[in-house]
Structure 1
Amino acid sequence: MARPLKIALCQFAPQAPESAPDAPTQNLARAHRFVEQAAAGGAQLVVFPEYFISGIIADEKFWSLAQPPHHEHKAQPTSHEGAEHWLESFRLLAIQHSIDIVAGTIVEKSGKKDENGKEILRNVAHYITKQGEVVGRYEKKNLWWPEKDYLTKGDDEHQVFDTEHGRVGMLICWDLAWPEAFRSLLLQNVEIVIAPTCWLGSDGADVGMAHDPECEAKFLDSLIVARAFENECVVIFVNCGGKAEDGWIGGSGVTVPFKGWVGKSKSNEEELFFVDIDVDILKDAREVYGIRRDLVPKLKELGRLPEGVEP
C-alpha cells in the first residue's frame, strides 16, 4: 500500500540581525505565515532551513539571540502569538494547523561555559508532530570551520525517531559532507533524512570559485542525490534563499533512490514549494540494491556493528 507524503519546503531568506534590530521578530512572523500557507496547500510536513530566525550569529554581539533549550522552557502560552520561545510558537502552530514542522535550526544556550569562560552555544534542529509533540532533537555534530568560533558540536549520537510518515533522522548542513553521519542513521533503518542548511555559493572560497564559480551548487547537487541512493532513503534538503549577489544559491529539494531529484526550487530566491513522494519506493530500492541488507552482516563479521543493531 502506498505511503504518500506531501512536503512543503520553505527556502526561507532570513533577514540578518545586523540589518535591523527587530530582524528575528520579522523573520519569525514571516515563518509563521509560511506554516499557514503550507497547511493550506495540503502539506503534511513543512521544513525550514538552518538559522532561519536568527540569521548567522557569528558576531559575538548577536549571541544573545540564542534561545534556552525548549525542554527547559516553563511558560505555557495558549497561542503562537503569545509564545516567547521560538520553538514553542511552532509547536502551537503545528497543533493549530495539524501539520508536522521541522523548525529549521535554532541556536541554543547550554547554560555552560567553556575553559575560556565563553557561553557554549549549540545549533539544534527539532521535529514537531501535528499533535505538538517534539519527537526529534538533533545538535549539529559536524561544524563548518567558521562555526567553530562560536558553536560547540553536539555530543549525542545520531538518532532516528518514528513518525506517522516513517522513521526519520535529522542532519544539519555540513553533516551532509560526512558519509559516516548517514551511515549511523542507515544502521537504525532510517527512511527519511531531513537536512536544514545554510550553504552559500561563496563557501568554496576564492580558491574553489576560481576553479568554478558554481562549485558549491555542484557539490550539493552531487551530495544530495548520492546520499539518497547509497543510503536507500529519502533526503529532504532545505537551504536558505536570497539574492544571488549576496551569495545565496538555494537548491532546496527532495531526492529518492531510482529517481534522484523529485522536486527542486526554481531559483536561489525565497520560495515555498511542494513535493509529493511515495515513501514505499524505498522498499524497491532496498530490494534491488541491498545496501543495508549486506552492510549489517559485514559490519558484524568485522566486529564493527554498533551496539543494539541486529542483522
Structure 2
Amino acid sequence: MSTHEESGLKIACLQFSPLFGDVAGNLQRSIAMIEKAADAGARIVVLPELANTGYTFKSRAEAFELAEPVPDGRSTQAWAEVAACRNLIIVAGITEREDNCLYNSAVVLDPSGTLGTYRKLHLWGDENLYFERGNLGVPVFATPYGRIGVAICYDGWFPEVFRLAAVQGADLMCVPTNWVPIPGQQPDQPPMANILHMALAHSNSMVIACADRVGVERGQPFIGHSLIVGHTGWPVAGPASGSDEEILIGEVSLSAARRDRNWNSFNHPLRDRRTDFYAESLGVGLNPNLNKR
C-alpha cells in the first residue's frame, strides 16, 4: 500500500481558460500550473476538457487541424515530460486524432509515459458534429496511489459510467470538463454539475476530482466551480470560483474510499446491487415477470 494512500494524497484540479487554437500557449500555461501544483505537494493533477486546443470549434476541418495523435502528439509528449520530471500522474483533456477519426479524449500519464486514453462516451451539443463517440469503454488504470477511472463532462449525467468504473475497482474518478450554464439554474443555487458529482461519489464510495475551465470562448461561457469530492460525497476542496483561474488542491485517502464501502454491518453499495434483476454490466437482464400484470 502506498504511503500516500495512508497519510493523505494530494490531488490538484487546474482551473484555467485555454486560448482557442493556441496549442503552444495552452501547453506552456498548463505546464506552469502543473509545476506549481507539484510544488504544493500534488501527486495527481487533472486538467480541463480539451485543455490543449480550446472547445468551440466552428467546423470539423478546424478540429481536425488542431487534433493530435496519442501518444505521439506534442501535447501528450509535453505533459509526459513534466509527469516524468515531477513524478506525477496527469489526466488531461485533449483533442485526439486517430486516422480520420476525431475524439474528445483524456490522456492518462504517469512518470513512465502514457498509461492509456479515455474517449468521451456521451457527446454534448455540437461535439456531435466533430467527434466520434468514444469506443474504448470505461478503462480503469492501476497506479501506485490507487485505481483511477476517467469521465469527461457530459458523462457525469450518466451514472453508468461511474458505476462501471467502481465495479472494476476504481478508487478515484478524474473528470476533465467544460461545464456550461444549465437552463433553470438560479444564481443562489450550487451548479447542478457539483450536485451530480457529489451524489456519484457517495453512491459509489469513490473520490471524484473535477477540473473545469473558466472564461468565455467564441461567445460560450464556462462556469468554473471545479470540485474535489471525497468518497463520502462531501467536498474536500472547492467549489472553486466561477470566473477565476486557480489551482484547487484536496487531500484524500483512496484506501479509505475502498475500505469504507462497508457503510454498516449490512450495507455495501456495490455488493447490494440486485444483479438478479439487472445484469452485472448494467444492461437490463431478462425478467420473466416484467410483462406480467
TM over 0.5: yes
1:1-311 maps to which residues of 2 (within 5 A)?
2-17=6-21, 23-60=22-59, 62-63=62-63, 64-70=65-71, 73=72, 85-103=74-92, 105-112=93-100, 120-129=101-110, 131-201=111-181, 204=182, 208=183, 211-214=184-187, 217-242=190-215, 247-258=221-232, 260-268=234-242, 269-288=244-263, 289-295=267-273, 298-299=274-275, 301-302=276-277, 304-306=279-281
Q: Pairwise CA RMSD of aligned residues?
A: 2.3
SS at match of 1:161: strand
Output the amino acid matched with 2:212. N
**Structure 1 position 265, deviation (Å):** 4.2
**Structure 1 position 39, deviation (Å):** 1.4
Matched residues in 2 for 1:86 and 1:231: separation? Answer: 32
**Structure 1 position 127, deviation (Å):** 1.3
Q: Deviations over 1:113-159 (max 9, x none)?
A: xxxxxxx2111111111x23211310111111321011111112211
**Structure 1 position 270, deviation (Å):** 0.9
SS at match of 2:270: helix
2:108 and 2:117 in contact (8 A); partners too: yes
1:48 and 1:238 in contact (8 A); partners too: yes
Matched residues in 2 for 1:253 and 1:303: separation? Answer: 32
SS at match of 1:293: coil
Output the amino acid matched with 2:20. A
Matched residues in 2 for 1:246 and 1:141: separation? Answer: 22
Question: Closer, same or farther in 2 for the Cα pair 1:111/1:240, shift >3 Å?
Answer: same
SS at match of 1:148: helix
Matched residues in 2 for 1:170 and 1:248: separation? Answer: 21
**Structure 1 position 287, deviation (Å):** 0.9
Matched residues in 2 for 1:212 and 1:135: separation? Answer: 37
Matched residues in 2 for 1:246 and 1:213: separation? Answer: 18
Output the amino acid matched with 1:125. A
2:138 and 2:161 in contact (8 A); partners too: yes
1:217 and 1:249 in contact (8 A); partners too: no
**Structure 1 position 302, deviation (Å):** 3.8
Question: Closer, same or farther in 2 for the Cα pair 1:256/1:7, shift >3 Å?
Answer: same
Output the amino acid matched with 2:102. L
* Greater alpha carbon shift after TM alignment, 224-233 vs 286-295: 286-295
Aligned counterpart, 2:291: none
Q: Deviations over 1:190-237 (max 9, x none)?
A: 110111001122xx3xxx2xx444499531121011000011111111
- Structure 2 stretches lacking a partner, 5+ long: 283-293
**Aligned-pair identity (%):** 27
Point out the structure with the larger helix share: 1
1:3 and 1:279 in contact (8 A); partners too: no
TM-score between the two structures when normalised by the length of structure 1: 0.80
2:240 and 2:248 in contact (8 A); partners too: no
Question: Closer, same or farther in 2 for the Cα pair 1:303/1:35, shift >3 Å?
Answer: closer
Matched residues in 1 for 2:6 and 2:248: separation? Answer: 22
How many residues end up aligned between the 2 structures? 271
* Greater alpha carbon shift after TM alignment, 231-240 vs 254-263: 254-263
SS at match of 1:144: coil
